[in-house]
Amino acid sequence: MTADTNGHHPAVRPRRIRFNYPVASLDRHYVAGDLVMSHVIAHLSAVFPEGEDFFVRSVRHFADQITDPELKERVKGFIGQEVSHGREHRELNDRLAQMGYPTARVDRMVRRQLKFVERRLSPLTCLAMTAADEHFTAVFAETLLSDERAQALLGDSEVRSMLLWHAVEESEHRSVAFDVYRAVGGSEKRRIRVMRVIRLTFPLSVVIYSLISLFSDRAAYHPARLVRSFAALRHSPFLTRAVFRRLGDYTRYGFHPDDHDNTALLAHWTTALFGEQGSLVDHLH
């Protein structure tokens, strides 16, 4: 079978890139000094390496069934990008662990959970999970790229640079797992049902594990600071109605990730980060 394509897709090419986090290069609460968001981002970073590996396995399982030449090339690019994301998040997670964040423990828990999922669920359901999770990451990635408030949270640290690179590549390959799922006969019913489960479990896991991480931090035992940090979540650019609407779009019959055009956004950030005067040109190898 061939993929159901919706027009032109952006190129999906892995970039050979490296980031560096020298000792003392990051503040303890590196997200604009915000207590809660620093732990939330640390938790998400801790989830990524095993999560990206799961995505790669889910897509690679069906790679031999893809006959569309364009989709086959996008799958290769997807795998290359996700492998790079896992590697770079492991580097960041090591640095966060040195700062007291429980990233290694989260990594082990996620590994066990995903191995359990793969034993209990079919490969097609695992692929549906990957497509749904890719929608989550793409929506949050494009929020980061399009909202100056989100960018401001990360200051000018190396974490900001890494997350912008990650966000660009998530936006580039946002529809690859989705198109593979369609190409191998995945149904709308299964796709939507899986997303409805993930819409509950994903936020719940973020809340639970971020709280576990947070309350291992002595700064969390200062009531005024903790209350201020939780109150600031009401104004988070990642928790707006527009973000929730985009996440909810996935459960509409006939939905495709490319329904939301990101061409101009990608063109801007590709130039800003990797163009001749791009801010991350010196990170490329």
Helix axes 123-146, 158-172, angle to 10 degrees: 120
Angle at 115 between CA 94 and CA 52, to 5 degrees: 50
Alpha-carbon gap, residue 280 to 284, rounded angstroms? 7
What pLDDT shows up at residue 7?
56
Question: How many residues belong to the chain?
Answer: 285
Tens of pLDDT, residue by residue over 2-23, are: 334 445 688 899 999 999 988 7
The two most distant CA atoms of the chain are separated, in Å, by: 58
What pLDDT shows up at residue 3?
37
What pLDDT shows up at residue 1?
32
What pLDDT shows up at residue 77?
97
Tens of pLDDT, residue by residue over 73-132, are: 999 999 999 999 999 999 999 999 999 999 999 999 999 999 999 999 999 999 999 999
What pLDDT shows up at residue 244?
96
With a cut of 70, which residues of the chain have pLDDT below it? Answer: 1-8
190, 67 in Cβ contact below 8 A? no
Is residue 33 left, alpha or beta, with left meaning phi > 0 and alpha meaning psi from -120 to 50? Answer: left
